[in-house]
């Protein structure tokens, strides 16, 4: 049944029921078809699979562990476990799909990897993959995010990537996607746009999900080995939705597991002050595919905001959009204040500084733990928080002299 699901979704045109597809200019249609055909071919090839396996083990440091949070569980009630994607090389789950995309790019004879980045994690992961495979790399990043995530900008440059500042609109993730897409359109033959999440036109939502499935496959096995059972609840943050699809994909057919996708509630649920796409959006179109979209009064993607730069996107993966309609996953939100509280709780009770994105998932797990203390909760800790420390300290201060938010 589980394998059938992955064959059925998406269909040959890239649809997850009504969501997904590829609504792109004709010049890109042929390129997307080439990428899709190549992916179908090599994803069945023994050489490709064994090269990817070897990279994951020897270069990325997989499998990442599952960790039982002793002190956090004691304080909040339930048994809380973390899938430690923060321990993946480069500090987040993103390298899982970047190494796959770069390996595919190499197979296609591409010279240059192009992408957008929000918090800079995807940019760093892709620049790392480009260095590994000897490819050029160009990363588009909003100027607001560049200021907020300065260490990641420097990392990308050290790794040899060109960082292109994006100065229009809100100067964050959506504009960076527009800019990267524009650059790719200039030369789709020699370059490839490596999308940073389970979004964009087909085949990206499918490929990125497939490359991230390793997270769920490992976590399920590890959790079972530790406890002899499956987790009652699995929690992951959702920006575009790649880390969440990675972990959820292993539990979609286990009726006893409840799945929670956590979106950024930001400052308030007023338009422009959050990025809770599934909670407050409507089906629409963005960046060449159909999904839930936060829209303004004209039906255009609305401005979004989150304290976590990696989550502020007004769209979301088409597969998540389908899973919401099917009722397979609960989509909820956590605001900035709850996120910062969880950031410090995990840091001080477990010695693990989480990314602000991942702190949203931790925050929701703490709520669940208090509501149902007899349950077990597995959280996908998508990344580490080193990139966020200066920003958090400056904006909010330490817990003992916290500035109001």
Residue nearest to ligand PLP (CB): 383
Least distance to ligand PLP, CB of residue 93, Å: 6
140 contacts 329 by C-beta, under 8 angstroms: no
CB of 320 to ligand PLP, least distance (A): 9
**Residue 31 or 388 having the CB closest to ligand PLP:** 388
> Minimum distance from CB of 176 to ligand PLP (Å)?
12
Contact set with ligand PLP (CB under 6 A): 92, 94, 119, 121-122, 197, 237-244, 310-311, 355, 357-358, 382-383
Closest contact distance (angstroms) between CB of 382 and ligand PLP is 3
Cα dihedral 220→223→229→234 (10° resolution): -70
Cβ 289 to ligand PLP, closest distance in Å? 14
Q: Of 126 and 137, which CB lies nearer to ligand PLP in the complex structure? A: 126
The one catalytic residue among 40, 46, 58, 69: 69
Return the HEC string of the chain: CHHHHHHHCCCCCCEECCEECCCCCHHHHHHHHHHHHHHHHHCCCHHHHHHHHHHHHHHHCCCCCEEECHHHHHHHCCEEEEEEHHHCCCCECCHHHHHHHHHHHHHCCCCEEEEEECCCHHHHHHHHHHHHHCCEEEEEEEHHHHHHCHHHHHHHHHCCCEEEEECCCCCCHHHHHHHHHHHHHHCCCCEEECCCCCCCCCCHHHHHHHHHHHHHHHHHHHHHHHHCCCCCEEEEECCCCHHHHHHHCCCCCCCCCEEEEEEEEECCCCCCCCCCHHHHCEEEEECCEEEEECECCCCCECCCCCCCHHHCCCCCCHHHHHHHHHCCEEEEEEEHHHHHHHHHHHHHHHCCCECHHHHHHHHHHHHHHHHCCCCEEEEEECEECHHHHHHHHHHHCCHHHCCCC
Least Å distance, CB 334 to ligand PLP, is: 13
Largest alpha-carbon pair distance within the chain?
A: 57
Q: Which is nearer to ligand PLP, 121 or 179 (CB)?
A: 121
Provide, rounded to whole angstroms, the least separation between the CB of residue 145 and ligand PLP: 11
Kindly name the residue from 58, 89, 93, 137 that is annotated as catalytic: 93
Q: Which of 138, 132, 1 is nearest to 60 (CA)?
A: 132
First to last CA, the chain: 47
Our CB check for ligand PLP shows the closer of 345 and 357 to be 357
User: Closest CB to ligand PLP among 32 and 308?
Assistant: 308
Q: Is 69 a catalytic residue?
A: yes
Closest to ligand PLP by CB, 36 vs 197, is 197
| Active site annotation includes 93 | yes
Nearer to ligand PLP, 14 or 239 (CB): 239
Q: Which residue numbers are catalytic? A: 69, 93
């Amino acid at each position: 049944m589980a394998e059938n699901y992955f064959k059925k979704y998406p269909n040959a045109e890239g649809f997850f029921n009504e969501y997904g597809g590829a609504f792109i200019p004709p010049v890109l249609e042929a390129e997307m078809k080439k990428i899709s055909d190549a992916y179908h071919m090599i994803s069945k090839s023994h050489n490709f699979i064994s090269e990817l396996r070897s990279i994951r083990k020897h270069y990325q440091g997989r499998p990442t562990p599952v960790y039982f949070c002793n002190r956090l569980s004691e304080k909040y009630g339930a048994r809380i476990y973390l899938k430690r994607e923060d321990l993946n090389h480069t500090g987040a789950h993103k390298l899982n799909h970047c190494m796959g995309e770069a390996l595919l790019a190499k197979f296609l004879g591409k010279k240059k990897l192009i992408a957008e980045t929000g918090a800079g994690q995807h940019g760093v992961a892709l620049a790392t993959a480009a260095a590994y495979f000897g490819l050029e790399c160009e990363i588009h990043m909003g100027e607001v995010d560049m200021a907020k995530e300065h260490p990641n900008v420097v990392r990308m440059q050290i790794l040899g990537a060109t960082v292109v500042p994006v100065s229009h609109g809100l100067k964050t993730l959506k504009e960076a996607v527009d800019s990267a897409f524009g650059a790719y359109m200039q030369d789709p033959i020699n370059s490839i746009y490596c999308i940073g999440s389970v979004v964009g036109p087909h085949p990206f939502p499918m490929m990125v999900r497939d490359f991230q499935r390793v997270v769920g496959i490992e976590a399920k096995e590890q959790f079972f080995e530790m406890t002899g059972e499956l987790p009652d609840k699995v929690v992951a943050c959702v920006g575009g939705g790649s880390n969440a699809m990675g972990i959820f994909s292993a539990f979609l057919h286990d009726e006893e597991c409840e799945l929670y996708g956590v979106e950024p509630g930001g400052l308030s649920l007023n338009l422009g002050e959050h990025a809770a796409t599934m909670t407050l959006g409507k089906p629409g179109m963005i960046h060449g595919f159909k999904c839930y979209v936060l829209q303004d009064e004209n039906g255009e993607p609305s401005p979004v905001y989150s304290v976590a730069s990696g989550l502020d996107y007004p769209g979301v993966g088409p597969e998540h959009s389908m899973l919401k309609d099917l009722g397979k996953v609960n989509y909820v939100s956590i605001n900035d204040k709850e996120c910062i509280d969880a950031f410090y709780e995990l840091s001080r009770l477990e010695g693990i500084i989480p990314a602000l994105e991942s702190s949203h998932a931790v925050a929701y797990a703490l709520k669940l733990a208090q509501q149902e203390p007899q349950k077990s909760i597995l959280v996908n800790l998508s990344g580490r928080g080193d990139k966020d420390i200066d920003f958090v300290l400056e904006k909010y201060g330490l817990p003992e002299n916290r500035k109001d938010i």
